[in-house]
Amino acid sequence: MHRLFHLPVFVVLISSVLYLGGCQGNLSARMAAARATADAPSAPTQTADGQAHHGESISAADSRPELTMPSPILLDPSRGQEIGTVFEAFLSPHQEGGEEEDTPSAVPAVFKSTAPSVDRNERMSRGHGVLSFTKDLSKAYVHIAIENVDPAEIAMFHIHCGRPGQLGPILVDFALAGNLQHYWADNVLTLEITNEDIEAVTNEASGLVGAFTAGCPITPSIPMDKVKTISGMEIIAREGELYFNLHTNGQMFFGDIRGQLHQVDVPNGN
């Protein structure tokens, strides 16, 4: 999907009007009076309804009374580390957007396969993954298992943003966390994701290719304004536009197995 980037233009108009009148006034006297006024203590300026202007301090006596009604939800900040929203994906070759033979010739070599490719209908690889978020959106957790994939052939594993069939930019690159062959040795990967993991992707990006393949836009109309937080990641997941993609040496461009994430209800989640 082609997305246009319209750079916003901000125009700031600054004007000042100086009124010079009454030359009989003494300039030094006026300045002294102004200093005296500034130094004198004054009560907060209030509007007609008795409210102080923005930025002014209101005394305790003049403060609006707090509610006597209890919160409809028991307040407990410590529950922020509990699991909130949960998303699930079943990965298969059939969710990939094309065959490796369809890889555009102009694609950089790093995105091209280095081993023989196998068509989607002939691949038996598959996977099952879960992405969960803490309620305070400080962390996310990935749990994913794969079958019929040789860990030695795994080249890349990402979370991308994009709709089904769309090749979207990378939001999380698990190779930046550690050795993929080590993680996948038992065919299971479980990792914690933080804001730093999201920022690492854009920090590692270089050149024009990196600018458009690394990091997910907060809004499609401004593609250079990238998501930097777990909360931004969770919003994209709610919109149904996050997916797992596992790339192997023979299935490098599109990927070997892919799974679109969908929100699910779990006993301890929302």
What does residue 203 show for φ and ψ, rounded to 5 degrees?
-70, -30
End-to-end, the C-alpha distance of the chain in Å comes to 32
Residue among 102, 96, 75, 99 nearest 160 (CA): 96
The pLDDT profile of the chain, 270 residues, written as one tens digit per residue, is 433 333 332 222 223 322 333 433 443 444 445 455 445 555 545 555 555 566 578 999 999 999 999 999 999 999 999 999 999 999 999 999 999 998 988 888 888 999 999 999 999 999 999 999 999 999 999 999 999 999 999 999 999 999 999 999 999 999 999 999 999 999 999 999 999 999 999 887 655 455 557 788 877 777 677 899 999 999 999 999 999 999 999 999 999 999 999 999 987 655
SS3 37: helix
Taking the C-alpha atoms of residue 55 and residue 206, their distance in angstroms, rounded to an integer, is 44
**Amino acid letter, residue 43:** A
CB 232 within 8 A of CB 197: no
CB 127 within 8 A of CB 187: no
Taking the C-alpha atoms of residue 86 and residue 265, their distance in angstroms, rounded to an integer, is 7
Q: Is 212 left (phi over 0), alpha (psi -120 to 50) or beta?
A: alpha
* pTM value surpassing 0.85: no
